[in-house]
Every structure is written in structure tokens, then in C-alpha cells.
């Protein structure tokens, strides 16, 4: 009888760990949806790597161009300019908004969170750190 119970301990523990990870991920995503929308200037003040500056500015420019059609499929957009801009924004988000880059540079992570189409950058959003409030001075960097 003891052998039968012992056989189920490992699958039970694995199931518990997976359930805990799913719940923690869900709670993190719910928290992130309530984060504030930061201004472009605030995000640019909080970048850690200056090489990301042109990328962040391009994300904001492209988002302004396709704001009204950002959640649509590119094939359903009539205007070729908007379609090309949306494809470019999606490609930049897919290539540049990787989880490790969003974790290392909170400014890039927040820019991706605010400007990229939803569903394209879930891992980046989970890795992004919250920025300090806009009225609070930036902490000194240790670089």
C-alpha cells in the first residue's frame, strides 16, 4: 500500500509547482495592467543603456502613426502607409523587446509595454521593472 502512494508523490509535487507558477504569472500580469502610463521623457530619463535611445524614440514615433489601428491585423488595413508602419512596429517589437533586454533596461521595457501591440511581447512585459514615480528624482546609477 505504501508503494502505491509513493508512486504519486512526484507527479503531485510537479503539479503543485506548475500551479504555483501559473498563479504567480497571472497575478503579475494583473498587476502590470494597472501600472501607470509613463511619459516619453520619463522613460528616456530612466534608460540604462544609451544605445536603446533611438529604438525607444522609434517605438514612440511608430505608435503615434498607427495608434488607431494597432490591434488590427496588417492585412485588414486599407492604407498602405499605415500597413507598412504597423508591420515595421510589430517587427521592431518582436525583434527588440526580448525579456532579457527589458529586464536589463527598464526604460526599454516600459517603452515596449506602452507602444507594442498586445500579445507580441508577453515575456518582455513580465520581465519589466516598474519605474520610479515621475516627480521623484532618479536614483544614482552604479555604472
Residues 16-67: tens digit of each pLDDT: 999 999 999 899 888 888 888 888 999 999 889 889 999 999 999 999 988 8
Q: How confident is the model at residue 2 (pLDDT cuts 50, 70, 90)?
A: low
pTM of the model: 0.76
Instruction: Supply the pLDDT for residue 57.
Output: 93
pLDDT over 70 (residue 71): yes
CA distance 119 to 55: 20
Greatest Cα-to-Cα distance within the chain, rounded to the nearest angstrom: 70
Instruction: Supply the pLDDT for residue 13.
Output: 94
- 54 class by beta-carbon count within 10 Å (0-12 exposed, 13-18 middle, 19+ buried): exposed
Which one, of 140, 110, 142, lies nearest residue 127 by Cα?
110
Name the average pLDDT for the chain.
85
Instruction: Supply the pLDDT for residue 76.
Output: 83
How many residues would you count in the chain?
143
Instruction: Supply the pLDDT for residue 136.
Output: 63
For residues 121-139, b (16+ Cβ closer than 10 Å) or e, as one string? beebbebbeebeeeeeeee
Instruction: Supply the pLDDT for residue 137.
Output: 57
DSSP assignment, residue 140?
A: P
Amino acid at each position: 500500500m505504501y508503494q502505491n502512494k509513493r508512486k504519486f508523490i512526484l507527479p503531485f509535487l510537479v503539479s503543485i509547482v506548475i500551479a504555483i507558477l501559473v498563479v504567480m504569472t497571472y497575478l503579475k500580469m494583473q498587476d502590470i495592467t494597472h501600472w501607470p502610463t509613463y511619459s516619453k521623457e520619463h522613460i528616456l530619463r530612466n534608460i540604462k543603456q544609451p544605445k536603446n535611445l533611438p529604438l525607444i524614440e522609434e517605438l514612440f514615433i511608430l505608435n503615434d502613426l498607427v495608434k488607431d489601428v494597432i490591434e488590427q491585423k496588417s492585412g485588414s488595413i486599407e492604407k498602405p502607409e499605415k500597413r507598412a508602419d504597423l508591420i515595421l512596429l510589430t517587427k521592431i517589437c518582436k525583434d527588440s523587446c526580448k525579456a532579457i533586454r527589458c529586464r536589463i533596461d527598464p526604460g526599454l521595457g516600459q517603452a515596449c509595454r506602452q507602444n507594442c501591440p498586445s500579445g507580441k511581447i508577453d515575456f518582455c512585459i513580465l520581465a519589466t521593472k516598474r519605474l520610479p514615480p515621475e516627480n521623484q528624482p532618479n536614483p544614482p546609477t552604479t555604472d
